[in-house]
Amino acid sequence: MRIALVAHTGSPLTPATGQEPASQAASIAAHARGLARLGHRVTVYARRDSRALPGSAILAPRVTVEHVTAGPPVPLSGADLADNVAEFSDELAQRWRRNPPDVIHAYFWTSGLAALAAARGRGIPLVQTFGTLGVAERRHGGAADGNDVRIRLEGCLARSARAVLAGTGTEAADLVNMGVPRAAVTVVPRGVDTAEFAPEGPVARRGARPRLLAVVTQLDAQQGLGTLLRMLTRVPGAELVIAGGPPRSQLRKDETYRDLTALAERLGVADRVSFHGKVVHGGLPALLRSADLLVSAVPYEPAGAVALAAMACGTPVAARGGRGRLRRRRSRRHHRRAHPPRPPRAVRPAGAGPAGQPVAAGGLRHRRRRPGHRPVLVGPHQPGDPGGLRALRAAPGGEPGRCRIRLTTPAPAGPGTPRRAGR
């Protein structure tokens, strides 16, 4: 079978940052290799996000990556991605006229819109993976990309796809509430490579103090790092290591870093806080093994990859409550507690230390678990906020319960009419 994987967010050949155990690009690459091992021929259609990327490349036996030029060849997110969906869809349509796939699997909502428009009228089934839904981001206080426009388009796309893969039962319920038939939704939980993330292996250098570790992709206000600094005042003797953001040599230029160091000075914990900076590729497992506890104060995490990787390394996790990807994950080897999503209050111990002694879990009041109450685990998240979705429009029509996606490019600055794509 010829399978097309559509990755509008970027190429699987772009070097990983090392701060995520499995980025979306890395997940797509692993998915493609797995399908190829089953005997399928896989082509990954990815937006060119670097000038150094070739037009096409062999990723693995029976796996080819074709790079599509749509927008500037740099990493994009939010409004910038949404603005070039029509251009990306045009390129896909031209290639699929010459070499149509048997099935299409799109990752993220902009990839699905482009693929749906490019495959219109060809009878090619579409499988959609969102990763995160706009309705979930809004429910947890995040800035969903495009707000109402994105949410409306995601519902239209989900109802038009042949099948939708959800990461959690909560996401599956959201999809059903959007009008997607239950039979079309399948829950596929996320995993990590246990050959890389395991209790045995190198351990990063550390001191004698108990180590609390926070791993973020970038330093910003959405990561809850201020809450963790305030939590540290209630955990005497422990150190907090914040990993992620710009390289260590460039930290002093980062405004959020300066704000956090000033807050640590005011709280009197500056001597127990250190900033690791950007995590080099392959360095995350050793860093996770060096921690006594992975901590996070972010209310919503759609993937939860860092928390899952920490547990795979034998490191317990304490995180603020919410409905992220790890909500229903259970592990008999690790102590986990649920915290209600509310503003920081008094800190009470939660979690278990190496000797069975309590370790403070975060800047939230702990509640005793009731019988049958499921634990909650969530990690870092930084939602985008594109506003320019003028290039995307949904129109009713088609089969009952479905709709058509019509993509148009924005009107040029000079005279002329907008180019209509994906007919």
Residue 378 included in any domain: no
Residue 165: phi and psi, rounded to 5, are -100, 120
**Range from 114-118, 243-247, 401-405, 418-422 carrying the lowest mean pLDDT:** 418-422
* Claim to verify: residue 21 and residue 127 sit in the same structural domain: yes
Residues 281, 285, 288, 289: is their CA dihedral positive or negative?
negative
pTM of the model: 0.71
CB of 372 closer than 8 Å to CB of 335: no
What token pair was written down for 223?
């990561």
Please tell me the predicted confidence (pLDDT) of residue 369: 34
> Tokens 């907090």 correspond to what residue?
240
pLDDT tens-digit series, residues 81-106: 888 899 999 999 999 999 999 999 99
20 falls in which pLDDT band (50, 70, 90)? low
State whether 219 and 290 are in the same domain: yes
Q: Are residues 169 and 218 in the same domain?
A: no
Indicate the range of 239-253, 259-273, 307-321, 387-401 predicted with least confidence: 387-401
> Residue 304: left if φ>0, alpha if ψ -120 to 50, beta else—which one?
left
208 burial class (0-12, 13-18, 19+ CB within 10 angstroms)?
exposed
Count: domains in the chain: 2
pLDDT at 337: 37
Structure-token match 């482009």, residue found: 114
- Average pLDDT of the chain is 77
Whether the predicted pLDDT of 108 surpasses 60: yes
- pLDDT tens figures, 313-336: 999 999 875 544 444 444 333 333
Q: On the CB side of 195, how many CA atoms lie within 13 Å of its CA? A: 0
Q: Which residue has the higher pLDDT, 360 or 270?
A: 270
Report the range of poorest mean pLDDT among 93-107, 163-177, 256-270, 326-340.
326-340
Whether 125 and 239 map to the same domain: the answer is: no
Residue 322 maps to a domain:
yes
pLDDT 10s digits, 22-52: 567 778 888 999 999 999 999 999 999 888 8
Which domain-ending residue is among 323, 342, 360? 360
pLDDT for residue 49: 86
pLDDT band of 162, cuts 50, 70, 90: very high
What is the reported pLDDT for 261? 94
CATH number for 269: 3.40.50.2000
Report how far residue 47's alpha carbon sits from residue 71's, in angstroms, rounded to the nearest whole number.
9
141 strand-pairing partners: none
User: 138 and 25: one domain?
Assistant: yes
Segment 149-168 mean pLDDT: 92
Q: Both 256 and 167 in a single domain?
A: no
Per-residue pLDDT, 25: 77
Q: How large a percentage of the chain has pLDDT more than 70? A: 72
Phi, psi of 147 (to 5 degrees): 55, -120
Determine the pLDDT at residue 143.
Answer: 59
Residue 390 inside a domain? The answer is: yes
In angstroms, the CA 12 to CA 25 distance is 4
Residue 295 has pLDDT above 90, yes or no: yes
Residue 166 clears pLDDT 90, i.e. is over it? yes
Range name among 217-231, 240-254, 278-292, 388-402 with the lowest pLDDT average: 388-402
In a domain, 204, yes or no: no
The answer to whether residue 373 is domain-embedded is no
Mean pLDDT (whole number) for 141-147: 60
Assess if residue 421 is contained within a domain.
no
In a domain, 198, yes or no: no
Does position 142 have pLDDT exceeding 90, yes or no? no
Kindly report the three-state secondary structure assignment for every residue of 287-320.
HHHCCCEEEECCCCCCCCHHHHHHHHCCCCEEEC
Place of tokens 């900033």: 275
Percent residues over pLDDT 90 in the chain: 45
Q: Is residue 418 part of a domain?
A: no
306 with 176, same domain: the answer is no
Q: Is 107 in contact with 6 (CB distance < 8 Å)?
A: yes
Q: Which pLDDT score, from 0 to 100, does residue 323 have?
A: 44
Name the residue range of residue 262's domain: 211-360
pLDDT(9) > 50: yes
Spatial CA neighbour of 229 closest among 271, 284, 279: 271
Q: Indicate if 151 and 289 belong to the same structural domain.
A: no
Sequence length of the chain is 423
Note the pLDDT of residue 276. 92
Contact between residue 207 and residue 283 where contact means Cβ atoms under 8 Å apart = no
Nearest residue to 71 (alpha-carbon basis) of 52, 51, 55: 51
Strand ranges of the sheet holding 239-243, from the earlier edge strand across to the other edge: 273-277, 239-243, 211-215, 293-296, 317-319
Q: What are phi and psi of 275, to 5 degrees?
A: -110, 120
17 and 145 part of one domain: yes
pLDDT of residue 419: 42
Q: Which residues on adjacent β-strands are paired with residue 47?
A: 68
Q: Cα(178)–Cα(150) distance, rounded to whole angstroms?
A: 13
Q: What is the pLDDT of residue 19?
A: 55
Please tell me whether residues 313 and 244 are part of one structural domain: yes
Statement to judge: residues 166 and 102 lie in one domain: yes
Domain ends where: 360, 375, 394?
360
With the CA atoms of 163, 167, 170 and 171 taken in that order, what torsion angle do they form, in degrees rounded to the nearest 10? Answer: -50
pLDDT higher than threshold 90 for residue 78: no
Please give the DSSP secondary-structure letter assigned to residue 16: P
In this structure, are 186 and 226 located in the same domain? no
pLDDT at 212 over 60: yes
Least confident of 121-125, 191-195, 281-285, 365-369: 365-369
Query: Per residue in 49-64, pLDDT tens?
Result: 888 899 999 999 999 9
Residue 196 vs residues 21, 358, 380: alpha-carbon distances, Å: 9, 29, 21
